[in-house]
Structure 1
Amino acid sequence: MLNRSLNVLIAAALLSGSVMAVADTDGQTRVNGLLSSSPEYRQTWTSVVKKEERLPDWVINLSGTSEPMTAVTEKGDKYMVGPLCETADHCLNERLIVAFSFDKKDAYAMLVEVPAGLPADKSPTRHADYRFIGKPNEGMQTLLKEQLKKDPNWY
């Protein structure tokens, strides 16, 4: 009887763990999973960041906290675009907006930095520094900035 109860408890624990794992992997593409999902993404991103100087490791490795990416079109070309932050706590002060072409051959990004300790009544937009990565043209720069504006905490 004790063995049966123990087996039921173990089965329940394993099942609940499986359910939680499924909830964490919602099947949506996120910036922090791109480099491990495809060698093409890794190759493209590596070629983009090797031309840049003094980037944080989380930007070079596309590691950190990320939300699902969305599909957008810029002058007829389709891109997957999404945000990345080193940690959720630092997202207001430092974030990266990344765009990859659907064919995985082009990548662009915008690193946004806001001074730490900015009072709540000060607009982050007016105090932010923007650094474009991958030499995006004017249209792509606008697209990246528009993605940033979708954040309700960005004003």
Structure 2
Amino acid sequence: MLGIGVLMGVAGTVAMDIWALALERFAGVARPNWGAVGRWVVEVSRGRIFHASIGDVAEVSGEARIGWVFHYLVGAIYGLVFVWIAGPAWLNAPTFMAVWVFSILTIGFGWFLLQPGLGLGWAASKTDNPWRARGLGLLAHTVFGLGMWGMSLVV
């Protein structure tokens, strides 16, 4: 069951990354900056969670790689947590609604921890267009849920 959770989380993360590539190519939407996230992860390990702007923090060697690893680790953890909550009965008859609700709820960590940590404000409130950022985040997490659900059907 744990292996299925990891696979689901990784599949959801891959789906989310494919979505980001499609948005960049066809709609001109910039992909997430995993280097900034990696820098933030290093700063968190040093005890500093929130920043006025992560861009004002000195670059860290390997920050992009750290950010990508963190991105996939979080996805795998979300998959594990979902399978733990949903249990074997859900795995025997997976429904999209359950995994979609879970994937939408996970955006809370981005809105209330990661984004303020990067200096973007609560739920992207300090960005040029907060509602656009929020909407794109909800769509990305929906795609994450679709990826998780798709993997649950495969396994």
Determine which structure has the larger helix proportion and give its number: 2
Instruction: Report 1 or 2 for greater relative contact order, CA contacts < 8 Å, sequence distance ≥ 6.
Output: 2
Higher strand share: 1
Q: Which has the larger radius of gyration?
A: 1
